[in-house]
Amino acid sequence: MTDSQPVRVALVTGAAGGIGQATVSRLRARGYAIIAEDVSPRVEELGADEAIVPLQADVSVAGTAQRAVALAQERFGRLDLLVNNAGLFLRKPTEECTDEDFDVLMAVNVRGAFSHARESLAALAATKGSIVNLASISGLVGQPNQTIYSMTKGALVQLTRQLAVEHAHRGIRVNAVAPGAVDTDFIARARDAVADPDPAASRARSISNHPIGRILTAGEIAEAIVFLASDAASGITGTILSVDGGFTAR
Ligand SMILES: NC(=O)c1ccc[n+]([C@@H]2O[C@H](COP(=O)([O-])OP(=O)(O)OC[C@H]3O[C@@H](n4cnc5c(N)ncnc54)[C@H](O)[C@@H]3O)[C@@H](O)[C@H]2O)c1
């Protein structure tokens, strides 16, 4: 970015998590100013740099998305990128899933992303900006004990395609990254996981399902997000970019 170009501004939800932090640091390195939103107070620890403005807020609460976009306008005067990254995991057999489980995951993973996209569109049209949604291998293929989580990620795949088609004429690009298993605290933070009798065996099984022979790093996912947001991806919209070490190629 040269001095004559305005600073680009990103809104990243789930910014205090593994993929969120990796994305924030890569966007900062490329000169973006950032509204870093997360429900966790850990988001305050990202704010030492004056170009990173922390917002501790719940994506699923009415008004959060409006507040976040208003903060971007107030602090930086524009918005170029929305990264819908906040998410919850749930591993449970379908018959044990409650209506509350369904409502909580849909509210955070789907409604949160939808409301942030809706509230960002006018600002993104003004900058010819873009949206990157965090989907998952679980939004593309079936996985045992992930019915509700998979449904939320499938919804994000379709949200991506829908917004891409509907808003292309305004110069807004909308894409998603679909990661395989990533080495973050995501599974450990799961709201209601099945008790795992042998975590080491589960990890080995997960690794063996990825043809590259390992799970992914948060940095690898962040690189894909930054690429989709960049001018190098100017011809790409409505794409679900798998970053899964070959998981869905089998
Ligand atoms: N880690 C994986 O294996 C994996 C695989 C595929 C997709 N993903 C997706 O990537 C995204 C990021 O995951 P991660 O691995 O960095 O997980 P993570 O748990 O490290 O980060 C998620 C962040 O979202 C925040 N968050 C949760 N609920 C929120 C809410 N209601 N409002 C605001 N923030 C909220 C959490 O506080 C956390 O900081 C998620 O959408 C997840 O579904 C992760």
CATH number at residue 210: 3.40.50.720
Q: What is the overall mean pLDDT for the chain?
A: 94
Ligand 1 pocket residue status of 143, Cβ below 6 Å: no
CA 129 to chain centre: 16
Q: Would 137 be classed as within a structural domain?
A: yes
Ligand 1 atom with the smallest distance to the CA of 109 is: 41
Flag whether 249 is in a domain.
no
User: Structural domain tally of the chain?
Assistant: 1
pLDDT for residue 4: 53
Residue 32 in domain: yes
| Domain hosting residue 84, numbered range | 9-243
In a domain, residue 4? The reply is no
Reported as a pLDDT band with limits 50, 70 and 90, residue 175 is: very high
pLDDT at residue 2 tops 70: no
Does 223 reside within a domain? yes
Rg, C-alpha atoms of the chain:
17
What is the Å distance from ligand 1's center to 201 Cα? Answer: 23
Q: How far is the CA of 5 from the centre of ligand 1 (A)?
A: 32
Q: How far is the CA of 112 from the centre of ligand 1 (A)?
A: 12
Whether the CB of 139 sits within 6 Å of ligand 1: no
Domain membership flag for residue 117: yes
Q: 185: Cβ below 6 Å to ligand 1? A: yes
8-12, 83-87, 197-201, 242-246: least confident range = 197-201
Model confidence at 157, in pLDDT bands (50, 70, 90)?
A: very high
Please report whether residue 1 resides in a domain: no
pLDDT band at 99 (very low <50, low <70, confident <90, very high): very high
206 Cβ closer than 6 Å to some ligand 1 atom? no
4-18, 76-90, 235-249, range with the lowest pLDDT: 4-18
**Which residue puts its alpha carbon closest to atom 41 of ligand 1?**
87
| Any domain includes 13 | yes
pLDDT tens sequence across 21-68:
999 999 999 999 999 999 999 999 997 789 999 999 999 999 999 999
Question: Which residue has the CA at smallest separation from atom 39 of ligand 1?
Answer: 17
pLDDT (average), residues 61-78? 98
pLDDT band of residue 1 (cuts 50, 70, 90) is: very low
